[in-house]
């Protein structure tokens, strides 16, 4: 009797099971297709989109034009250190033309004045007849280091960072760039002195070889 009951249950269940396999599956069982990749979406490729490159800091001319107009007629020297090649901030020594020519030390970072204090620079206080006109600076700091790099290369050197000084030697003289050059290990190896209005190289102390003419 047990065998007959088992056979009865098996013959009743098996056709129903096989029939269920032939039926369409419920929609709830379907796996949704993957979303189509959107333009610029690299996730399906396992790629990570790199962050956009940071813009280079503004050069010396932008810093000179960022200061108060009362200083623009009395800029004596513009300096910066640690440029790779552009420095993050510039220091400008200038006379306050609204206050009897009192010297001020102005710090400019990313095109904005971040500090302004009276300067006690005794040497510059005697240079009351000089002024660096930003309009005369046709060779900005970035252009100046571009001129220095092939000179360094001709002397088997690679510029790691630069200290900049923009000065003027007399009332009617052209402004002059002095670039103190350091290698990738921070060791000083020479300087490039050039005119800031034309880019003409005047001296290259510490670097004897000139780049080959094109």
Is the pTM of the predicted complex or chain greater than 0.85? no
- Confidence grade of residue 172 (pLDDT, cut at 50, 70, 90): confident
Does some domain include residue 159? yes
Does some domain include residue 92? yes
The answer to whether 211 touches 151, Cβ cutoff 8 Å, is yes
Please indicate whether residue 7 or residue 193 has the higher confidence score (pLDDT): 193
Instruction: Check pLDDT > 70 for residue 82.
Output: yes
Does some domain include residue 26? no
Does some domain include residue 35? no
Mean pLDDT for the stretch of residues 43-64: 70
Instruction: Check pLDDT > 80 for residue 196.
Output: yes
Does some domain include residue 124? yes
Least confident of 17-21, 66-70, 105-109: 17-21
Does some domain include residue 29? no
Domain total of the chain: 1
Mean pLDDT for the stretch of residues 85-105: 92
Q: What pLDDT sits at residue 37?
A: 52
Please indicate whether residue 101 or residue 1 has the higher confidence score (pLDDT): 101
Does some domain include residue 119? yes
Does some domain include residue 32? no
Q: What pLDDT sits at residue 5?
A: 42
Q: Tell me which residue range forms the domain holding 155.
A: 60-203
């Amino acid at each position: 009797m047990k065998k007959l009951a088992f056979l009865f249950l098996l013959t009743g269940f098996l056709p129903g099971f096989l029939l269920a396999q032939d039926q369409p599956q419920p929609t709830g069982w379907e796996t949704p297709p993957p979303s189509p990749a959107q333009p610029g979406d690299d996730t399906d490729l396992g790629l990570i989109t790199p962050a956009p490159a940071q813009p280079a800091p503004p050069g010396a001319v932008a810093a000179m034009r960022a200061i108060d107009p009362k200083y623009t007629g009395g800029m004596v020297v513009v300096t910066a250190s640690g440029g790779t090649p552009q420095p993050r901030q510039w220091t400008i020594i200038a006379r306050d033309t609204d206050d009897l020519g009192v010297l001020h030390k102005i710090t400019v970072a990313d095109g904005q004045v971040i500090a302004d204090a009276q300067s006690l620079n005794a040497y510059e206080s005697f240079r009351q007849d000089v002024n660096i006109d930003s309009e005369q600076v046709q060779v900005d700091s970035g252009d100046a280091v571009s001129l220095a790099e092939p000179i360094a290369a001709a002397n088997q050197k690679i510029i790691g960072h630069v200290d900049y000084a923009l000065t003027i030697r007399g009332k009617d003289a052209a402004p002059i760039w002095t670039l103190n050059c350091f290698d990738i290990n921070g060791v000083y190896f020479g300087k490039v002195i050039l005119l800031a209005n034309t880019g003409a190289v005047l001296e290259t102390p510490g670097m004897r070889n000139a780049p080959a003419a094109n």
